[in-house]
Amino acid sequence: MLLFVSICKLVAEIALLALAGQWVLGLLAGAKRDQNFFYQLLQMMTRPFVKGARMISPKVVIDRHVPLVAFFLIAFVWIGATITKINICVQIGVQQCQ
């Protein structure tokens, strides 16, 4: 169970950092961000999460805002995984959790 929670937490961390990096790079690159290789790489990494957020969110949400929805959904998953990991580590002992 601890392994599964740790994997969920790690995937959430990678997705959160990729979404944050994509946002910052989008600000820096401006209108030419779609031509930027690293922006495209981050976009490719976050595409499954953004598509999942699009399926979950209502149609009222503008497509521009879907990555933000994905960020908050993944942030909630990360918080839940962190709390679950802390609870598991407290139950089995901190020494076995390392």
**What is the spatial distance between Cα 73 and Cα 80, in angstroms, rounded to a whole number?**
11
Question: Domain limits at 82?
Answer: 2-97
> The pTM is what?
0.88
The total domain count for the chain is 1
Please write the tens of the pLDDT for every residue from 6-62: 999 999 999 999 999 999 999 998 888 889 999 999 999 999 999 999 999 999 999
Would you say residue 97 has pLDDT above 90? no
Q: pLDDT at position 94, please?
A: 84
